[in-house]
A and B are shown apart, each in its own frame.
Chain A
């Protein structure tokens, strides 16, 4: 039985590693054909360059200079044919999903930010001509703007959201829309709970995690996003709510430590050092005193006129 487990694990590893080594990175057909909703502008390229330098350059290097990090499989230079042969939709998918050592940027970058990166990369592809999405996507809104309210229900320990469409004349609940909740972390955004759909009142409730570290007051910046970007556009609302555990950091030099200043030295080492110095030097001073005694004895003999045999 044990052997069977080991075999199964080995087999699973073999399959996984073969898949990881596959050079073809298959992108589902509908995703591959996806196009940018707008023509790339110099502003897109500029913003893309900034995003590229912040997120991609550490592995892929500067496009065209082939100074990517020598990893296996190698990340490759985005100016190369390996990249330029991709459709826009394929690049979008690969950046958003990631594979192996290539991380997923879905949670870190918004779709339009990824399009900006693609706009930047495309400037290195000589024969590239952009195709823009032909049809305007059907909107899930009826002329208004999306408004999202986020509140923390302390009693139930849930994060409740109300998603509405705001028009000048009325406020209408958006029902049946998929929404996703994130918490802002140092690198990217961490998904909280799972994708949920709003109910008929436009309300949705996420169970709040109990162990997420917040700031000193336990505050965490939460972001609610509507999943269907094609229907609603990029809609996200952030709010700082006290859902996390307060993080109280202690300074490493608060207490006595080996690395502290002498005022904050551990007591044992303070005593050992000063004890040693005191012991040695009190003996040395005792010897100095003895030298004085020798002198005094000689002087006394001199004064009392004790004549010693000349040596």
Chain B
């Protein structure tokens, strides 16, 4: 959103049309009920799996003495990564002044909120004694990256919620008077959350100032959240994690994953919510270019992260690198690097591959690749401790996730999807007032052009 507006006087007709388009999908439709019913069912089944884990402990997972971080931690890193896109789109691109991100910014914030909220829970499912989670605050040590992680995730989540909510306030006020068929509770909710917004320039001034502050604050916080997550690994001396570039490596990877997630959601909203006019081919084209850019930067960090140790082949690193390049994890490694990064990136460099459908397909490849990439970062290192493993059961040496682990991981995705679904059905997903303002400006620009003609 642009930070320059202090007065809101849109073209009435255009506003009405935009509000009508964007508010149409709001509300609990039949398909929403079906979809939520499906999600709830999956959630209950997976919740049952978590119940088993709660009762019997982490022994029901594939984690043992040596591989004590498994799919859950990989999944946690993925969730944190995806949530970072809110910062990239709203803050980095927004502060630079790109106007095309306006209809996408709220989608990016929904992704940020949905994934950041669940990221904390993903950590809790990795705990053997979740009933002691408050001990982190009681006995947490400020020297430990784990406490920093808890702190910074909470902070980022709060800022993301605010960044989602603040630009929503004028929309809620606009929507209030137009929700004729909406249930009473929704109207009441809008009434409360719109905070007596009346489009006065005083309110706009406060809103703009707050947004500007938040957009600046979210940049270091987002950098902090994923850098600290990377330090959970890089603060140890284990091969594969003992790296000085882990912070930027994680950050750039996060932008790739998050951008892909936003593209997928954009495609869904465009088709299901009939928003082709607002999420245009041009938006997909630009998001495709953004994905290429982030993928290129990430590829650069990948080359550094793997090539430099591979050239040196220190003895402790060699075991780990061989497992990735040609050993036990080779398939997954090359599949994520090629199928999840390099090939989609090269394809997206060409315009036909940035069309909505194709781009979404490639984004799905990238997102799946991104998830498995986290798996590749976490597990192989765990399988090669610095001291040799001797005389332990086979299950201790090689990790493979159990059905329960997969189910619980699926549960976290379902939770995230539920949050995203509810947010996108309860509130408009495209900023009405910003679009209306934009449209009015276009009108003004045209008008001023015609006006200025005689003077030439």
Instruction: List which A279-311 residues lie within 8 A (CB) of chain B.
Output: 280-281, 283-284, 286-287, 290-291, 293-295, 297-299, 301-302, 306, 308, 310-311
> Is A269 an interface residue, CB under 8 A from the partner?
yes
Question: Is B213 a contact partner of A286 (Cβ separation < 8 A)?
Answer: yes
> Is A262 an interface residue, CB under 8 A from the partner?
yes
> Is B155 an interface residue, CB under 8 A from the partner?
yes
> Is B2 an interface residue, CB under 8 A from the partner?
no
Q: Which of A259, A284, A291 contacts B158 (CB 8 A)?
A: A284
A266 cross-chain contacts in B, Cβ below 8 A:
143
- The chain B residue sitting closest to A301, CB to CB, is B198
| Known A262-B141, A301-B198: A280·B209 in contact at CB below 8 Å | no
Interface of A is mostly: helix
CA distance A291 to B210 in the complex (A): 9
Instruction: List which B162-196 residues lie within 8 A (CB) of chain A.
Output: 162, 166, 169, 173-174, 177, 195-196
Q: Which of A259, A281, A297, A299 contacts B143 (CB 8 A)?
A: A259
Question: Is A308 a contact partner of B199 (Cβ separation < 8 A)?
Answer: yes
Q: Which of B142, B159, B173 contacts A270 (CB 8 A)?
A: B142
Interface residues on A, range: 20 to 34
B147 cross-chain contacts in A, Cβ below 8 A:
273
Question: Is B210 a contact partner of A280 (Cβ separation < 8 A)?
Answer: no
- Interface size counted on chain B using CB atoms at 8 A: 37
- The chain A residue sitting closest to B138, CB to CB, is A262
Q: Which of A258, A260, A283, A299 has its CB near the most chain B CB atoms (within 10 A)? A: A283
Interface of B is mostly: helix
> Is B40 an interface residue, CB under 8 A from the partner?
no
Instruction: List which B104-120 residues lie within 8 A (CB) of chain A.
Output: none
> Is B68 an interface residue, CB under 8 A from the partner?
no
> Is A277 an interface residue, CB under 8 A from the partner?
yes
CA distance A262 to B135 in the complex (A): 13
Q: How far apart are B222's CB and chain A's nearest CB, in angstroms?
A: 12
> Is A210 an interface residue, CB under 8 A from the partner?
no
B140 cross-chain contacts in A, Cβ below 8 A:
262
Q: How far apart are A258's CB and chain B's nearest CB, in angstroms?
A: 5
Question: Is B200 a contact partner of A297 (Cβ separation < 8 A)?
Answer: yes
CA distance A211 to B301 in the complex (A): 54
- The chain B residue sitting closest to A263, CB to CB, is B141
CA distance A301 to B10 in the complex (A): 21
CA distance A280 to B214 in the complex (A): 10
Instruction: List which A156-197 residues lie within 8 A (CB) of chain B.
Output: none
CA distance A227 to B365 in the complex (A): 82
Q: List residues of B whose CB falls within 8 A of some A CB.
A: 8, 10, 15, 139-143, 147-148, 151, 155, 158-159, 162, 166, 169, 173-174, 177, 195-200, 202-203, 206-207, 209-210, 213-214, 217, 221, 224
